Chain A
């Protein structure tokens, strides 16, 4: 069969149409249908190749650019600006993408990615990534992504919901993190709210001063991180981190508006998670968020709270060393703060003796970590110099 098909190539519209039909059938069938799966897998693979070229052709045309001998951890794409796309016909890619948009295939795929066969999920991921990356020659705007943000934000939300299932978590996560280069995607996720008609809110209608209801897709991340298999949870955390760290101004404003809800969830679900990985990663991320300049006002608000300090001080006594270590980097912010709140001062003063006994031996095998040693002795000095009784902070009004 496949033999006969080889010569008879489907045209772009035919390919998109047939992919769409098959995906609809797949989503409707309760039982897995091997025949539909097989045909769909072929279509998706074909679509991927048309968008991206095949490894063979790509390699043949590959000329080794002169790279400086430096070690990069990430893959290096020579010509991410589109020039490397030379061997696939840009005109043809544009046409294919237009049909894909026209048929709303991306939305359908995003919702059914977990039902696709194993290899097709990866093909779908490539199709999404290539589509989202696509820029017409000379344009700085990713055209397809632009369209999605403006007219079909549901696709982005549907991709997030990929974390509901192990099968779809990683392809969806990969696409999301790539799209999160753009702040509008982060905004879309942060300000998502459930609506009566099931449609995703238009970004233009968002008022950043109104606190979130806590029902939007962003808040689901706490569940996805805390529950589920290691891969899902770890991947969801990576996306969560990207949302919170990639676009600083946006996030700073968001965290200020939603301070209480965010930190109560963060503390209860993540910092005090049963899962070691979640706990450790989230303490580290907390430190990163607080120490970011852009989040200065969030940080001051955070370190004013005695409750937060208690949670962090308990981490110092955890019986897992890396938890202690990550906790230390949040604890230091409380102590180093020159304008400590009364609540924070009270806790530190009533624990002064204990802290002074505890800190010198705290993680004392980290002998090669000079920054840590310096910071530790700085904290000890600060605690020694605490006043005997809490004094109102100067900045307090």
Chain B
């Protein structure tokens, strides 16, 4: 790190353009949050694995990415994780990268873990805050099912930090982004796990769960798949995403990709509404960082009430539709 402001490389998550609908490519919100973090630590740079159309480059520049590295090769979509590791390593090999930031989700953490092994670097995952410090970035993690806060520093190699969604705000910081295409020679061992088929899921039209400012989640108390209609209605009234506890996804009342908790998604929205969720420790691990919590549960002893800023002891099937109606009435 001889340069006073080395590059802080953000591995960008994009939603590629869809030629069928004419929709252009977009950058996922957590990557923009990481550009905010990158500006605290050095000179932000972005790495896009896959096509980077003009819209994607423009958005990255608007959020401070001075350089946008692009590795657009079929391998990055055709194999799990490995090609992206090669791509990050290729950019770091050019020198002047002082830190690598990835999203703390399964893929981001795995890319980060392998990059750390390859570079001989320390890695911190699940950072809920990252600030500049003496001797390198200081990362804050929520550990032990989110009940403790730990601060850590990487002391070896180029720090690799996996940053949770909502760890930093998205802030405009426009610069003229320079695109640099990077040719990567993929290692044979990086092309071992081949994606042989991909079945896209129908989109819900709601905000993405881990990035949504409002999450309304249902649990065992919802009682059935049909029962989730009242959860969805409140989510839509608040412009939020729908989540579910493991009890509900195990019953197949709601899609597994919406599960919040230790074995599902971790969310940190401004508002979390827990409907019919008791609040077992495994669930709390996934939503403990929510800033405001509203809980509705029939059981007055449910542990979720200890976390709630507002708790209602009552039947969610009665209360939720009434709340939707109240909101509509006040807006009318």
- Chains A and B are bound partners: no
